[in-house]
Amino acid sequence: MIRIEGLHKSYPIGKDSLHVLKGLDLHIKEGEFVSIMGSSGSGKSTLLNIVGLLDEHDVGNYYLNGQLIEKLNEKKAAVLRNKFLGFVFQSFNLISYKTAVENVALPLYYKGVGRKERLKTALEYLEKVELGPWAEHLPNELSGGQKQRVAIARALVTVPKVILADEPTGALDSTTTDSVMDLLKGINDEGMTVFVITHEEEVAEQTDRIVRLKDGVIISDELTESGKAKAKQYV
């Protein structure tokens, strides 16, 4: 699903440049549930942004769904994002003046789905994250956990290939963290590829595979207990 070879990325800072990703190799297969661990500033978000086509890499190859990503213009990137990728952010990033159901329906708007069908589908996904009764509420009337579930419903609504989550539990307490992780697990069980960034050990352990990033290089890449269990099943 996602294949990265010798990926480099640096940011220009004044005359100098900050080398953030220093040659990453990573292969994530369809249906995997992967977490990226690393301390703050280790380049996790940078990696996710590149994978999410929000940013461009400098050197190396990136294949998304078998397609080599290079020289994408903004329009193509937008279409690919809409088609293949669903985003979940630490700070939810809901549009404050839209109701929960409208927020969930927004990606479908850019996909060209009609309003009626859009709202119907959006409501189905809200029900899936157990927020059906909250459909007409504005984001500021929802708790943090509820907001993140709305964001997850929004990421799912276009039925993407990959869910990219940048510290989805970073702003949540432990109980809601668990419910959000359970939700992501459930999504993964249905066969969707889920790619989570976190710096919390407990969160990472709930995924199937942990990739550790330090100073722009991968220092380890291991399956967790549940990952090993799954791997056995398939062998």
Partner 1 sequence: MFKFIFDSDTWQEIYGGIRKNKTRTIITIIGVLWGIFLLVVLLGAARGMENNFKKAFGDFATNSLVVWTNRTDKPFKGFQKGRRIQLKTRDVEVLKEEFKGRLKYIVPRCQTSSLIINGFKSGDFQVSGDYPVLDKVQKKNLIYGRFLNKNDINNKAKVVVIEEEIYKQLFEKNEYPINQYLIINNVNYKLVGVYKSGAIDFDGDTAYIPFTTFQQVYNRGNSIDWMMITADEGVDIEQFELDIQLTLKNLHKVDPEDNKAFGGINLAVQIGKFTGFLTGMQFLTWFVGIATLIAGVFAIGNILLITVKERTKEIGIRRALGATPREIRQQVILESVFLTTIAGMLGIVFGGLVLYIIDSAFGSGPDPTLLNPTVNIPIVLIAFTILIVLGTSIGLIPAYMATMIKPIEALREE
Give the whole-angstrom CA distance, residue 33 versus residue 61: 22
**Per-position x/- string for 142-161, each x denoting binding to partner 1 as judged by CB under 8 A, each - no binding:** ------------x---x---
The span of 26-34, 43-51, 134-142, 144-152 binding ligand ADP (CB under 6 A) equals 43-51
Burial label for 224, CB within 10 Å (0-12, 13-18, 19+), is middle
Does 114 help bind partner 1 (rule: CB under 8 A)? yes
Q: Which is nearer to ligand ADP, 41 or 133 (CB)?
A: 41
Q: Enumerate residues 73-92 that contact partner 1 by CB under 8 A.
A: 74-75, 78-79, 81-83, 87, 89-91
Residue 90 CB-half CA count within 13 A:
11
DSSP state of 1: -
Q: Of these, 26, 35, 37, 46, which contacts ligand ADP (CB under 6 A)?
A: 46
Give the whole-angstrom CA distance, residue 150 versus residue 40: 26
Does 38 help bind ligand ADP (rule: CB under 6 A)? yes
**Per-position x/- string for 18-57, each x denoting binding to Mg ion as judged by CB under 5 A, each - no binding:** ---------------------------x------------
Q: 193-198 and 33-37 as β-strands: parallel, antiparallel, unpaired?
A: parallel
Tell me the three state secondary structure of residue 206: coil
**Minimum CB–partner distance for residue 98 and ligand ADP (Å):** 27
Which alpha helices (DSSP H) does the chain contain, by range?
44-51, 74-84, 100-111, 115-128, 144-156, 174-189, 201-205, 225-234
The footprint of ligand ADP (CB under 6 A) covers: 11, 13, 18, 20, 38, 40-46
The footprint of partner 1 (CB under 8 A) covers: 45, 49, 52, 54-55, 74-75, 78-79, 81-83, 87, 89-91, 93-98, 102, 106-107, 109-111, 114-115, 154, 158, 166
